[in-house]
Amino acid sequence: MWPSDPDDFESLVVPPENSSRDDAWFFIKLHGGFLCVSEQGVPRPVTGDELRWMDLEASFEHYLGEHRGRSIYVMQAAGAAPEGYAVAGLRDWLGRVEQSVFYLAGRAHQIIDWHNEHQYCGRCGTAMIDHPRDRARQCPSCDLINYPKLAPSIIVLITRGEQMLLARNANWPTNMFSTLAGFVEPGESIEQTVHREVLEEVGLRVGNLRYFGSQSWPFPNSLMLGFHAQYQSGEISCQDEEIAEARWFDVNDLPNVPPRSAISRWLIDEFIDQVNSAS
C-alpha cells in the first residue's frame, strides 16, 4: 500500500481567506492521544462545527494545510472527551484509516511535539513565538529560528536467492519478525548507514543496494528510506540487547510480519512478487 497521491494534501501555514473552520478537521491532542469519533469502527478527527460546543481549553493550534479541499488543524487542549467521543493514540489510527489520513495524524503528532519542545529559545532562554510565514518557532530576542526536525533512518530487506533475512527485536513478541532498520549518523550517507546498520545488527555484509521508497514514520519523527540489498558474506551474529534473533526465511514460509501499512511490509511484498514472477 503506497502513500497517497501528493495532490491529496497541500501543506500551508496560513489559512486561505475563503477556508471554512466549520467543516475543517481538528486533530485535538488530549492526554493519551487524539480526540476522535468512530464512524463504523473507523476513527475520524473532530470537525470545527463539533468543536464549538466542546468544553475544551486550547493551549495552541496550528493550521497544517488542505486535504482534498478540507482545512486541517492541529490543537493541543485540556479537558475530557465528550460523550460519544474517544481518545486514540497514534498507533490506534495505523491500519484503521486510509493511508492519507494516517499521514495527517502523523504530521499533526509531530507538529505538537515540535511546538512543545520549542517553548523557549535554546540559545538565550526567551519564550519562542510562531514565525509569521514559515512552519517555525522564532526567538524575538536573538532571532534563533527552529524548524520541525526529522530523523532520517534506513530500513532494508536483505535477500539471498529466494530467501529473505528477517529479524526480531528484543522487545517484540515471539514469532514477530521484520526488516532491519536504523538511524543515520552525522556525516554518513544513506548507503553508508545501510552497510553499518546491517553489520552492527546481524554481522553481515551486503551489496547491490537498490532504493525502493520512503515512508513518514511519526514514532516519533522518522523518515524511513527503504532499500533492498543482496547478501554478500558473513554469518548471522545478532547485536546484544537489540536483536533477539535473525533468520533466513523462504518466501512461502514466513513468520508474522508487519501490516501492509508499513514500509517494511512493502519491501517484503515487493520481493515476493519478484520471486513469484521469475518462477
Residue-wise pLDDT tens digits, 145-156: 999 999 999 999
- 175 and 123 assigned to the same domain: no
Q: Which band of pLDDT confidence, cut at 50, 70 and 90, is reported for residue 5?
A: low
Q: Which pLDDT score is estimated for 95?
A: 85
Q: State which of 106, 133, 148 marks the end of a domain.
A: 148
10-14, 93-97, 111-115: least confidently modelled range? 93-97
Q: Average of pLDDT values for 52-57?
A: 94
- 111 and 229 assigned to the same domain: no
Work out the angle at residue 264's Cα, subtended by the Cα atoms of residues 32 and 113, and round it to the nearest 5 degrees.
30
Report if residue 1 sits inside a domain: no
- 257 and 229 assigned to the same domain: yes
- 253 and 135 assigned to the same domain: no
Give me the percent of the chain exceeding a pLDDT of 70: 97
Q: Report the mean per-residue pLDDT for the chain.
A: 94
Residue 38: name the closest of 83, 75, 85 by CA: 85
Report if residue 170 sits inside a domain: yes
Kindly compute the dihedral angle of the four CA atoms of residues 79, 111, 222, 251, in this order, to the nearest 10 degrees.
Answer: 60
pTM of the model: 0.90
CATH number at residue 101: 3.90.79
Q: Report DSSP state, residue 135.
A: S
Q: Report DSSP state, residue 178.
A: B
Decide the pairing of beta strands 70-78 and 57-67: antiparallel
The terminus-to-terminus CA distance of the chain in angstroms comes to 24
- 178 and 84 assigned to the same domain: no
Return the half-sphere exposure (C-beta side, CA atoms, 13 A cut-off) of residue 23: 8
26 CB-near residues (< 8 Å, 6+ apart)? 45, 46, 47, 48, 51, 61, 73, 74, 75
Report if residue 11 sits inside a domain: yes
Q: Which band of pLDDT confidence, cut at 50, 70 and 90, is reported for residue 1?
A: very low
168 CB-near residues (< 8 Å, 6+ apart)? 174, 175, 176, 177, 178, 243, 244, 245, 246
Report if residue 205 sits inside a domain: yes
- 234 and 142 assigned to the same domain: no
Q: Which pLDDT score is estimated for 39?
A: 86
H, E, C per residue of 63-119: EEEEECCEEEEEEEEECCCCCCCEEECHHHHCCCCCHHHHHHHHHHHHHHHHHHHCC
CATH number at residue 236: 3.90.79.10
Residue 70: name the closest of 100, 40, 34, 109 by CA: 100
Domain tally, the chain? 3
pLDDT, tens digit, for every residue of 207-241?
Answer: 999 999 999 999 999 999 999 999 999 999 999 99
Q: Whole domain around residue 237: which residue ranges?
A: 151-278
- 15 and 84 assigned to the same domain: yes
pLDDT, tens digit, for every residue of 78-107?
Answer: 999 999 999 999 989 988 899 899 999 999
Q: Which pLDDT score is estimated for 19?
A: 87
Q: Which band of pLDDT confidence, cut at 50, 70 and 90, is reported for residue 173?
A: confident
